[in-house]
Structures are given as structure tokens and as C-alpha cells.
Structure 1
Amino acid sequence: MRLPDRWSKTLSKYGLRWLLSALVTAIGVAYTLNYWQSDAVVRLDNLLAGERMKLEQPVLDPRIVIVDIDGKALTEFGRFPWSRNVQAQLIRQLTGHYQVKAVGYDISFPEPDTSSGYGVLEKLSARELRDVPQLKDKLQSLKTALDYDGLFASALRGQPVILGFNLSPDQVKGALPAPLFSEADLNGRELLAYNAAGYEANVPVLQQAAAGAGSFSVVTDLDGVVRNAYLIQQVGEHYYPSLAVATSMLYLDALAVKPLLTESVDQLSQSQLDSGGYDALTILLPGRKQRLIPVGEAMSTVVQFRGRGGPAGGAFRYVSAADVLTGRAPQQLLKGTLVLIGTTAPGLVDLRATPVNPEYPGVEIHANIIKSILDQRFKSRHYMAFVLEAGEILLLGLGLGLALATLSPLRSILLGVSVMAASVGLNLYLYRELDLMFNSAMLIIVLLAVFVLNVAWGYFFEVRKGQALVSRFGEYVAPELVAEMAEDPEKYNMDGESRELTVMFVDVRGFTTISEGLTPKQLREYINLYLTAMSEDIRDSHRGTLDKYIGDAVMAFWGAPVAFADHASRGVATALLMQASARRLNTDFLARGWPELKIGIGLNSGLMHVGDMGSSIRRAYTVMGDAVNLASRLEGITKVYGVGIAVGAATRAAAPEFAYRELDLVRVKGKNEPVAIFEPLGLAEQISHAERRELQDWQAALQLLRQQQWPAAQAAIAALQQLAPERYLYQLYQQRIAYYCEHPPGAGWDGVTTFDTK
């Protein structure tokens, strides 16, 4: 079956690009569906997840307070670990004076506390000092006061305090709390949890006195970053809670924690099951209430890090343990709260690398999990997330590939950025509002790859053809014009054409004398400063095309290759600006002891031939024609009339917003037709009333002269000379009138001045 011609042409033009885009998309889908893996993509996903967490502004939770064994506490109460009598005092303050509701220790106490010295004294009384009967009696009376473990146990007994313990692969130390449940309670079902070979728990006397204990072990990924934490861990046949779960249970007055295997829990909603991933935990509360905790692999949860951590992090209030021990902390900050006791003091090795901060307090990891439990909001990954991610990659990858192949570079960029922003925005919305985590690294990689593929293809095989022409213009015109041309290179070519343009010639007055008065090095600096200033005025200020340098002369034009309807106005404005720049340079040159700088500028508008001209050896983009020749003549004529700028009548007519002084009617060499020439003075709206009146009087004097009314013309110009004695133009015309008085031109005189030289 033969395709229609229109379809065939479309496939021929875009088919290969579509195929490559589809191939890139297929690779991304295969990764998402676990057909291949990449550590680099995993690292990028982790990086993006961390940045996503950083975007969420922390909100202080008044329910959770961290009592910090910080530098201040160590200064006031000595180095860590503290004696258990200090810990006993801390607990009495928290539960008695401050009336907190629950306390969780991010610290374990695996060894007996012998810091009181009682054991040493007891040995002395049995050996070296056995003959001192008073010592044994005194020791017996001090036994209770010097039994720091006993003091701490007494403070713990009957109080809502959860101790911490650490899982260990190679040792068994201390006593574990009562387990949450055992394998026997699962009725033969398997619960996949982290199974530790050993543990480092608390001394029995403390564990028996405490309300319970929880593991403060966290999951460290291969890159050393903590992103997940176990909520339930297994030791032997028994299952134990994490510190966060155990402390939350105490705070909520929970009765028990039970595992819920998703495939056997009919009473849970499908959304609750979906959010759990593998299994779920439920915290049973009084009054037949429960709180569901979704968990991932090995009974873990993703830690939702809030803020950057530490006292300045903004998510949790920190109170120094020193202020609690001394009672300086305000009671209202702690009453009824859940307190975690930990440390941020440098050197105590409880700072962890996390996605939001490489030095994140370990105690705050547990605080974040507790907040999620209390709020019933967990960031979790949908069990069908990989399918949804694959579908998104397939849809956006193919759609973007189809569209980009047919769009211009600018529209391709806009579409690519829009699709990328929309996908990132959707990911953030699902994370913030629905607490769902989706990976986005592969999607971004696929979208970027499809975008770069199509843009690069368009550049190398299509746009580059036009840009090759534009790059050639870069040899002749200003870079900013080249940039504009590059947006639509098809509009421009270097073929010769006739066009209405404005051309300028600039020359330095008396350059031979100047060069004789300077050393070669000075002359080079002199001419470089001059040409740089003139070129900047032409190109940067009014976007002229800098044609060439001819010794000390400069040639430029406006209206090609980029067309400007106001090319004459741009030329006149540039000429006025260049004269101002010349005056500024002259002040600097005179201060250096260099010769005076004066320039003459000729400007004319008209039909010119513009294009790439020259020989097979050297070519240039330039202009030619009678209008160009007249501009060159006008530059030379400025010396005759003592003015800095002379423009032709066509330029004056095309730029009426400026005020002009008519100089003469001239017939230049090579042209038979006379032309009026003018000196631009500035924008008409900016000249003063006196200048406007002088122009009117001058125009009237010219009319008298052309009517051969010599005495009246002479008197009118004499009056103008009194107003501006420095103006050479008036002196020139007084000399002409004097000549005409002695040599009358006759009745057929047309008032034109003829120039026989260039």
C-alpha cells in the first residue's frame, strides 16, 4: 500500500528523528521497568529527592522537643558520658518539674556506671583499710548515694521514659526490653524485617526500671547517606520497635503494635494498602482506635527530613540539657511534650549524612519519624509507581519527539522547557499534597535527550545551512546584528541589491600634521583610541554597519543587511554622537600634549547598491552608487564651511526630527545637478529659542544673497556675526558677498557653488 505523497514527504523529512526519539524513550522505559539498572541514575534520583525535601519550608512542631546535650551542657556539667546521677537529675527535672508526657533516649547505657568510686572504696575497706571499722560503716551509709545506676533506675521507675539501644552484628550486651511480638504470634506467616545477630542494649537494672526501649539504628545507604529507617527489627525470634515507634506509643498511650500483611487485611482501604508497599503496621490506641503506618521493604520507612537540622533548622525546638537541669528553661516549652534526649556537641559522633545536610543531628532523624507517626503522614512509594513512571516516560518522550521535529528552534525550546517544568511540577505536587514519591531522574534524562537530539539535528542539518550565511555577515557587520539575523537567516543573503540606505564618511582634519607631531607609538595609540570611539558610536549606539577603515577615515552605513525604516535618523544621531565623542577625546589628547583632534562627517541617503563585492582574492560587504559618492564629497566639503557634519537634502527630508542649518546649494565634482547641503544641530525639540531664531535669520539672509541683494544680505549676516563671532560660516559668506559686489554673477546666476575637486 502506497502512502499519500504528503505523508511520504513528512516521513522522509522527520522519520529518522522520530525513530531516534522513540529509541531513547524505549531505553528509558526499559530502565524504569527494571530491565536494566544504572548506579548513576540511582544517584541522580537520590540527589533530586534531597533537593525536593529542601524545597519544603519547615514548620515548628511544638509537640516534639529535643533536649540537647550540647557544648553549653558539657561546659556546665562536665565531659560526656555523664555520670548516671546527672542523668537521674535530668529525668527528675523532665518528668517532675516540667511534666513532659514522654521521653526517648537517643543514648544507650550498656556498661555499669562506676564513676562514683564506690567500688574502689569497697576494695580498700576489705584490704588495705580493713582495720578501719568506721570506713565500713560509712560506706554502708553512702552505698545508696554512690550507686549511680540505682539512682538513675529509681528516677526511671514509673516514669514515661524509653531507653535506646543499638543493633550489632557481632556482640550481645545488656538487656533487651519486652518484644512487641514474636514469630509465634504471626501464625506461620513470614514478616520480612531486618534481623540482627546481636545488640548493645542497657544494663538490666536500667532496662527493668524504664517503660521500654527502642532501637536507634538507622539505614545507611552505600553512599553513606541516611534516607530510611527501620521501624521494626528482629533479634532471634522476637521483634522490637525503633526508638521512634516506642516513644510514639508511649506518647499516644498505645496498647500495642501489630503487623498487618497486606494480602490478608481486608478491612483496610485499597489506598492504605497501596501506600504500604509490602506490609503495614498498626498502632492500637484506647477506644478501639488505630493508627496505620505504611512501611516499605524490611519494615522500613522513608525519613521525611524537615529543615536543615539542628537548633537553627526550624522544624523542632532545641533546649539545652543545661537549662533543663538548672530549671532555666521555661516550663511552658516542655509541659506535655514528647522529649528526645540526644546530642549535637562536636566530637560525640551523632551527626549523620542526610539528603538535606551532611551533618544532620541523629536525634532529629527520630524526631522526623515521630512527627510522621503523630501526623499520620508518611512519604511513601506507590506499589505501582514504576508502571506509572514508565507510562509517563512513554507518553512525554514520544509526544515531545513528535512535536520537536516539526518546530522551529525557539518553539522547540519553549515546548521542551514547558514539558520539563510540567513534569517536575507534577512530581512536586504528588510529593507535597499526596505524600507520594515518584522517581524523576530517568524521565528528565529522556526528555533532555529527546530535546538535545532534535535541537542538535535541527542545527546541524537544517538551521546550520542558513547560519553559515549569517556567519559570513559576521565578518562585516556588528555582532548584535548577526544575532538578530541568526533568528531568521532565510531573510538575508549577500547577493547584490538596490536599497534605500544612509551612508557616512568620517575623516580626521589635518592628519598628516598630526602624524608628524607624534612618535610611532603615540600615533598608534592616538588612532586606536579615535577609531575605537567612533566604531562604538556607530555599532553599539545606533546599530550601524561598520564598512571599513581607510587609513584614518571610517565608512559606515545604515539599513543593510538588517533593514531600518529610520536609517537616516540613526545616521544623523550617530554623527552628532561622534562629534561629542571627538570633543571628549580631544580634551584627553590635549592634556597629554598631543595634537588637536577634529573630524569631518559627510552623510547622505538614497538608492545604493549593497552586497558582497570585490575580487576572487578579497571581498567585502559594502555599498556603491551616486548617493555614496555624494556622502564622500560632503565629508570633504565640511572643511570649506567650517562645520563638523554635512548632510544631503535626502537625509534631511528622511530625518525631520532634527534641526538643520542650510549651508549651501552645491554642485560637486562628477554631478551636474545641484544639491542642498545642511548641518544638523540636534533634535528640533531640544534646541533653544535663541538657536531657533538664529536659524530663521540665517535662512532669511540666504534668501537675500540668492536674490543678489548684497547690502541687505551683508547687513543680515553682520548681525548674525555679532551673535556668534566664532562661526566660520558667517565669515565665509561675508567674503563671498564682498567678491560678488566686485564681480557680480549676473542675472542668470542660480546661487549654486560649484566644486571642481573632490
Structure 2
Amino acid sequence: MLRKHWPQIILGLLCFMLLAAHITSVLRLPAVERLDAYLYDTRVRFSAASAPDPRIAIIDIDEKSLAALGRWPWRRDLLARLVDQVFDHYHAQALGFDVVFAEADDSTGLATLRRLASGELADIPEFGATLTRIAPRLDTDTRLARALAKRNTVLGFYYSSDSHAVSAGALPAPALDAGTLAPVAANITPASHFGANLAQLQTAAAAGGHFVPSVDQDGVIRRVPLLVNIGGQFYPALSLALAQLALGHPPLEPVIEVGGGVPQLEALKLGKLTLSVDANGRATVPYRGPARSFAYVSAADVLKGTVPVDQLAGRILLLGATTPGLNDLRVTPVGEAYPGVEIHANLLSAMLDGALPQRPGYLLGAELLLLAVLTPILVWVLARRPPFQATVTVLTLLVALALADIWLWRVHHVDFPFAATLTLMVALYVLNMAWGYIFVTRRQSQLRQLFGQYVVPELVDRMSADPGKYTMVGQSRELSILFTDVRGFTSISESMAPAELTQFMNAFLTEISTVIRSGQPGTIDKYIGDCVMAFWGAPLPDTLHAHNAVLAALNIHAAMLRLNTTFAARNWPTLVVGVGVNSGVVTVGDMGSRYRLTYTVMGDAVNLTSRIESLTKFYGVPILVTAATRDAAPGFVYREIDRVRVAGREDAVTLYQPLALAGDEAATRYVDAFAPVLAHYRLRQWAQAQQQLATLLQAEPDCVLYRVWRDRVATMQANPPAADWDGVHVFVRK
């Protein structure tokens, strides 16, 4: 196999090495990365949750709210009222802000009044006193800070790696001590600048977290950094901070694995929950479905208190915008205008369930092992099996692996990187099919050209399915050979005009050829004038070659009876055809000269077949077969005719006439009637043999076989043979 299928083996090894390099990050293949992203998107779309998460709801800054409350940003006292409403009226568990309050609220003019009080109007005491009295009502930032204080509120902020950006606001407390992440700190998503909330607000809130997702090269959001490194400190994502707050602030700890001597962040432990992340601290977002897969309520309705309490009570709420004008619509696997706030809702839901998709470190070894196992299997299947079987096998493997991938995703939340495996299977399939089309098809075409003139199209089609198994090179094989010849052809040809003789012979040869090529077809070797030579068992192996050859001989005899009826209607001569069949080991292959080659058989068995075919005329029987054929094809009724030694051979051969298929009672009686003749003859019981022959001739006076034996017995009776006579009749002429 190695030598025969080396191109497929080399292709398989090249594909394996290339994809192994991709898996181990020695060489990244953008096409495989895009496929991995596409498979993730497809998996997410077909694994959507059947219902929203009842623990989470989104307060929507929608068109209705903007129409009722004015353009964004709203006054901080209005937001304070919203916070109070959320906790005092609706008894929410926690509230996260997918917005940032980086600047003071000057919508009340308090800052301007204070500048006037210390400047142009400083000499008017009444102005300063009035300002002091009303300032608390105008200080909306303080009002919002009081609403945030001592409640489960999480403020959002953003980060940036843009060198031109300017940091603003106050960051929340870090999520982890920098020392615990020291071994993997270099891999955590870095940032150089940030836009955070007013210190007054961030200090009042229970926590803070960033709301910046990770955007892949194709612009799609599939991951969110749960940790971001800003100035050597590690800050959480908004969803992580909310989960920690909602769960009672359990400790957050990194899970660092060391593989090959290299430490790598595998997950974050949040109390009893394990939050899977990649080496950069990013979590894969398991989207529950398209936009609005979570409960949404309008911010205006929350402020007015028209939302039923049970829709928000005890839930974790996220405040965010879906209106296009606020530019928080993102491209995700489940939608191209997906609300950014719902990305955090998806992450939060998965965290609470401990169901973040995971790619543990052992998947690298598992993926390499899968490739190493699949490569030789695919090479063997694609190289050795017919295209249809190979296609079915590859599709079956694909379906099985796809089902396994879905099972891992849905049951164990494992995000198996299936792209390299799929690429290997598709690449090997396509390359092997292309190889087969370019080279094997050419081989099949050559096979058709070589064998099409000898073998029926159906057999050529079977041979073309695996052309490597068939060759024109000479080889020794056991076959069954058939010869036919027309009795008295010379006189027939002399009595017919050339054109009419051509039609006559074409009709005869067509009938013979049709019989040979039907049923279990044989290979037509050649036409020699009125003689046809054929054989069974090559080029396509045939374990029943002897049976099929004898059956063809009987069918030829029957076909000649029908054909003579047609010939009689056209006033053409009656045909008498003799058929000889023999089985034996011969050489078969392409033989001839450098000027002309033909696929043929040669050997002693071929010569013997020709000899016994010529004896059909002597014995007056339509078919003769040798003992070798009779023994190899026991499914017929045979009548023994004689034991002879033909010209050119020392060994004697027993001749038989096949009469019918086994079980034919009339044929069996016919055999039983002649058998005593042979028995008496070989026992030198000449009188008894003559008596039996007389009885047979009385029933069939024109039977050539009986007359031949009558004359031979008479000769033997008159001139008894020597004492060492073996009962074999010798033919000295061919």
C-alpha cells in the first residue's frame, strides 16, 4: 500500500503537519481561524436557550424613554430616582450600569452659580446664602451618589490602548491582588488608558467593572475580557463584578496551570463557581439567542412604576441602551445590531450557572491526538475504497464528530476547536477526489480502452471502480476456455454472395457474442473466421468460471436452434456449431508484437480446448468438455463420451457432453442409457456393448455417436487390442 498510494500518504502527512503547526501556534492559518469562528457562531445559533433567564432583566434606555425623559445623558437626580425605584419599589437584587458617568452633571447650572458666587456676585451676601440653601437640591451628582450608596450597584467604565487617549475618572477597586496573577500577568488583556466614573460616584457604588468586549478580526464579538490589566492592576468586567456582588461577594481566585513549564491562566474561581477563560483572561460569550432573549423593560416605565413588581423583584438588573442613536449596538454571532448591554447579560447568566464555555489546556493534546488518529484512517479509506463508500465514510465521521462536538458544548460547556479537524477531513477528501479525478480517471479511461473491446461494459465499470487490481501484464491464472466452430463453413461460404455472406456471418457472430456477454459474461478473445474464442475468469476474477462457461455453451446450442429458424425464413443455410470447453491454468495478458498487442490466453489448456472442439464433429455432439471442467462445474448433467489421447498430447483426457442443468430427469435417463456401452467396452465385453448399442440405434438410428461406437466395437471385436490396452482412443490427426 505504501508504494501504491504514496501520493495520498504524502498529502495526508502534509495536511497533518500544517494543521498541527496551527494548533500549536507555530504557524497560524487565518482560514482555519475564520472557520473556527464560524463554527462557534453556528454552534451558538443552534443551541439557543428555550426561555429567558428569570434572574436577569434589562432596563432599556429606549426611544420611548428618550421621548419621555429627554435626550441622553439624563440629569443625575432623575437617575437617582431610577435607582431608588429599582431598590425601594421593585426590590431588585443588584443593578449594573452599562454607561459611564465620567463628567459632573452641570444640567442644573450649579457649577455656574458657584463660579458667580465666588466671582462677580461675591459681594452680594444674599446670593451666596441662597445658593448655600438650594445647592443640595442642585447637586445631582451627590444625589445620585446617595442613591448608589449601600446598595448593590456596579458602575461601568471603559478602557483603551490608544496612545492618544486620555484617562479620566476614578477606577474601582482591583478584582485581584496583582501578586496572585504575577505568573500570567503578561498575557492578561492590557490597557493604557481608561474612562471611568466620577470619584464621588464610584466611591458610593459597591463595585465597578468595564463593559468593553473583545472584537475579533471579522468585527464580531465572541469574547469579553473578565480581567483587564491597567497599570499593573487587574480590574473585572461589569458582568463579573455583578456576579460577585449578587453571590454575596465570594473571593475571586485565579486557576493557573503549568503545561510544558509555561504557566497559563485556565479559569477564575468565584466561590464555588469555575469561570473558564482563555490565556488572556477572556471569557467566551454563550449567547442564549438573538437580541431580546432577556426580559426588557423601558426605563421610563420603571420610573413611573408601571412595570409589575414581580417582573423585576429579586432580579439582577442591567441599565443600558438599545436605541441606535446611542451607538451601543454590536455585531455578534446572533445578530448584527445586538444591544451591547445584552452581551453582559449573557455572560452574567452563564457565570451564575457555572456554564461559561471552556477550552481547557488538555484540548490541545486532544485535538492533536484526534488529527493523528484521523489522518491514517482517512488516507486509508480515501485511497482504498470506491468514491461512494469513501464519501459515505467521511460523511459518517463528520456527523459523528459534529454530534460529539454538540454534546460537549451543550452538556459539558466545552468549546472544542473543531475547525482543524474539519479542515483536515475536507482537505483530504477534496485532494483525494481531485487526485482520483485527474489520475485514477485517466487510469480508468485506459482500462476501458484496453478491456472495452473484450469485456462487456458492465464488467468494465466494475473494473473501473478499482483499476489498480487489473492489469494487461501476463499472469498465470486458472480459467475456462470456450471454442466454437461452424461445421461445413467452406461449402456455405462458396454458396453465398460476398454481401450476403457478410450479413450471414454478422448475424451468427452477433448471436454467439450476445450469449457469451450475457449472464455471467465471459471475455471474447478473438474471431477466427467462423470460429469464436472466449474465456471466463479474467480480467475479472470469477470463482464459477467453469460453470459459467458450460452454461454459455448450452445457451449457444439453444441460440443456434432459434437462429436456424430465422435463417430458414431467409433461405439461408442451416448452421451446425460445435463447442468445446476446457478448464486449466494458462497465461493471460497483453501479448503480441511491438506492432500489435491483444489481450489473450496461451497455454496447453487452450490448445486442448481447440482439439476437443474439433472432436464434436467426429462424435456428432454439439458440445464437449473435459473432465477438468466437469469437476469444476458439477451443476449439470453430463454424459461421458470417450477417453481419448489427442494429437500432440501424451496424457489421456476424458470427454463429456453437458446435456442440461442438474436435476433434469430426462437428461439423466439419457446418460444412464449410454453408460453401459462404455462399461462393457472397457471390460472387453464386445458382444454386450454391441447389444446395448443396437438397442440405442433402434431408438435413434441417425445418432452419429452411436454409429461411431458401433463401428469401433466391431473393429475391436474383430481385432482385439493388446493385453496392456487402457481403453483410450488415440487420435493421430488434429
TM-score (norm 2): 0.57
How much does 1:426 deviate? 2.1
Which residue number corresponds to residue 200 of structure 2?
205
Given residue 296 of structure 1, which amino acid in structure 2 is its aligned partner?
Answer: D
Residue 293 in structure 1 maps to residue 275 in structure 2: yes
Change (3 A) 1:31 1:236: closer
Match of 2:226 in 1: 231
Q: Spell out, residue by residue over 1:304-329, the C-alpha distance to the aligned partner (whole angstroms, 9 max, x if none).
A: 22212x22xx2x21111122111121
SS in 2 for 1:342: strand
Q: 1:428 to 1:337 in 2, by over 3 A?
A: same
CA contact (8 A) 2:58 2:319 kept: yes
Alignment partner, residue 350 of structure 1: 328
Choose the corresponding residue for 1:386, options 350, 356, 364: 364
- Contact kept, 8 Å, 2:23 with 2:420, in 1: the verdict is yes
Alignment deviations for residues 2-39 of structure 1 (CA, whole Å, 9 cap, x no partner): xxxxxxxx555444434433443343334333342222
1:305 to 282, 287, 299: 287
SS in 2 for 1:298: coil
Alpha-carbon distance between aligned partners in 1 of 2:171 and 2:359, rounded to the nearest angstrom? 32
Question: How many Å apart are 1:146 and its aligned residue?
Answer: 1.8
Question: Judging changes above 3 Å, is the alpha-carbon distance between structure 1 residues 13 and 226 closer, same or farther for their aligned structure 2 residues?
Answer: same
Match of 2:25 in 1: 34
Instruction: Give the CA deviation at 1:134.
Output: 6.3
Kept in 2, the 8 Å contact 1:194–1:299? The answer is: yes
Distance 1:97 1:48 in 2: 44
Contact kept, 8 Å, 1:278 with 1:296, in 2: the verdict is: yes
Residues 277 and 295 in structure 1, CA contact (< 8 A), matched pair in contact too:
no
Give the whole-Å Cα distance in 1 for the aligned partners of 2:166 and 2:228: 16
Structure 2 counterpart of 1:175, from 170, 179, 182: 170
Counterpart in 1 of 2:295?
317
Matched, 1:245 2:232: no
For 2:378, the equivalent position in structure 1 comes to 400
Report if the CA contact (8 A) 1:33-1:387 is conserved.
no
Q: 1:362 to 1:404 in 2, by over 3 A?
A: same
Per the alignment, residue 80 of structure 2 pairs with: 88
Q: Equivalent residue for 1:163? A: 155
* Matched letter for residue 195 of structure 2: E
Task: Say whether the 8 Å CA contact 1:277–1:294 is kept in structure 2.
Answer: no
Q: Secondary structure at the match of 2:422?
A: helix
What amino acid is the match of 2:327?
Answer: V
Q: Return the alpha-carbon distance in structure 1 between the equivalents of residues 423 and 116 of structure 2.
A: 74
Q: What letter matches 2:363 in structure 1?
A: A
Which amino acid is the alignment partner of residue 115 of structure 1?
S
CA distance in 2, matches of 1:262, 1:432: 25
Amino acid in the other structure paired with 1:293: L
Are residues 1:97 and 2:84 paired?
A: no
1: distance between equivalents of 2:63 and 2:341?
16
CA offsets per residue over residues 269-302 of structure 1, 9 Å max, x none? x9xxxxx952443334xxxxx3332332232222
Tell me what 2:268 maps to: 281
- Are residue 423 (structure 1) and residue 405 (structure 2) matched? no
Q: Contact 1:21–1:398 (CA<8 Å) still a contact in 2?
A: yes
Q: Residue 39 of structure 2: which of 20, 36, 48 is its match?
A: 48
Q: Which of 42-51 and 19-28 deviates more?
A: 19-28
Is 1:24 the counterpart of 2:15 in the alignment?
A: yes
Q: Is the alpha carbon distance of 1:119 and 1:188 closer, same or farther for their aligned partners in structure 2, counting shifts above 3 Å?
A: closer
Aligned to 1:4: none
SS in 1 for 2:154: strand
| Aligned equivalents of 2:26, 2:203: Cα separation in 1 | 52
CA distance in 1, matches of 2:427, 2:248: 54
CA contact (8 A) 1:179 1:238 kept: yes
Specify the code of the residue in structure 1 equivalent to 2:30: D
Q: Indicate the SS of the match to 1:347.
A: helix
Q: In the alignment, is residue 326 of structure 1 matched against residue 304 of structure 2?
A: yes
Inter-partner Cα distance in structure 2 for 1:108 and 1:13: 68
The letter of the residue matching 2:276 is P
SS in 2 for 1:100: coil
CA displacement 1:402-447 (0-9 Å, x = unmatched): 1222222221221121122222222222222222222222222221
Q: Greater Rg, structure 1 or structure 2?
A: 2
1:357 to partner: Cα distance: 2.6
Quote the Cα distance in structure 2 between the aligned partners of 1:66 and 1:155: 19
Match of 1:296, SS? Answer: coil
Alignment CA distance shift 1:465-1:222 (3 Å): closer
Q: Following superposition of structure 1 onto structure 2, how do residues 445-484 of structure 1 map, counting pairs within 5 Å?
A: 445-463=423-441
Corresponding residue for residue 701 of structure 1: none
Aligned to 2:723: none
Deviation of 1:66 (Å): 1.1
CA distance in 2, matches of 1:459, 1:400: 18
SS in structure 2 opposite 1:159? coil
The alignment partner of 1:113 has SS state of: coil
Q: Is the 8 A contact 2:48 2:287 kept in 1?
A: no
Counterpart amino acid of residue 404 in structure 1: L
Partners of 2:63 and 2:447 lie apart in 1 by 69
Aligned-partner SS, 1:358: strand
In structure 2, C-alpha distance between the alignment counterparts of 1:257 and 1:294, rounded to whole Å: 13
CA drift of 1:467 comes to: 6.7
In structure 1, what is the Cα distance between the partners aligned to 2:323 and 2:305?
A: 21
| Preserved contact between residue 161 and residue 212 of structure 1 (Cα < 8 Å) | yes
Equivalent pair of 2:221/2:333 in contact (CA under 8 Å): yes
Q: How many percent identity over aligned positions?
A: 33
Using the alignment, how far apart are the partners of 2:414 and 2:447 within structure 1?
52
| 2:156 partner SS | strand
Cα–Cα, structure 1 residues 86 and 488, in superposed 2: closer, same or farther, change >3 Å?
farther
**Aligned-partner Cα distance in 2 for 1:232–1:17:** 47
Unaligned stretches of 5+ in structure 2? 450-456, 467-513, 520-568, 573-734
Q: Is the 8 A contact 1:277 1:382 kept in 2?
A: no
Q: Does residue 154 of the first structure (1) align with residue 146 of the second (2)? A: yes
CA-based RMSD: 4.4
Q: Could you report, residue by residue, the CA deviation over 1:70-90 in whole angstroms, capped at 9, with x for unpaired residues?
A: 112111111111111221121
TM-aligned CA distance change 1:117 to 1:303, over 3 Å: same
Q: 2:288 is paired with a residue of what secondary structure?
A: coil
Q: Distance in 1 between matches of 2:61 and 2:421?
A: 44
| Superposition pairs of residues 433-512 of structure 1, within 5 angstroms | 433-463=411-441
What CA deviation, in whole Å up to 9, does each residue of 1:475-521 have, x standing for no partner?
A: xxxxxxx99x9899799xxxxxxxxxxxxxxxxxxxxxxxxxxxxxx
Amino acid at match of 1:159: R
- 3-state DSSP class of the match of 1:439? coil
Distance 1:30 1:127 in 2: 71
Map 1:99-114 → 2, pairs under 5 A: 99-114=91-106
The residue matched to 1:339 in structure 2 has which SS? Answer: strand
Within-5 A mapping of 1:573-722: none
Question: After superposition, what is the alpha-carbon deviation per residue over 1:728-752, rounded to whole angstroms, capped at 9, x for unaligned?
Answer: xxxxxxxxxxxxxxxxxxxxxxxxx
Distance 1:420 1:408 in 2: 18
Alignment correspondent of 2:209 = 214
Shift of 1:464: 5.2
Cα distance, 1:323–1:458 mapped onto 2, change above 3 Å = same
Task: Check conservation: 1:262, 1:280, Cα contact below 8 A.
Answer: no
> Cα deviation per residue 1:526-556 (whole Å; 9 max; x = unaligned)?
xxxxxxxxxxxxxxxxxxxxxxxxxxxxxxx
Aligned pair count?
A: 476
For 2:12 and 2:182, the matched residues in 1 are separated by: 51
Give, in whole Å, the separation in 1 of the partners of 2:78 and 2:210.
23
Per the normalisation by structure 1, the TM-score is: 0.56
Deviations 1:538-597 (A, max 9, x none): xxxxxxxxxxxxxxxxxxxxxx9xx999xxxxxxxxxxxxxxxxxxxxxxxxxxxxxxxx
The verdict on how the C-alpha distance between 1:30 and 1:296 changes in structure 2, with shifts beyond 3 A counting, is closer
Tell me the distance in 1 between the aligned counterparts of 2:26 and 2:280.
23
CA distance in 2, matches of 1:143, 1:487: 97
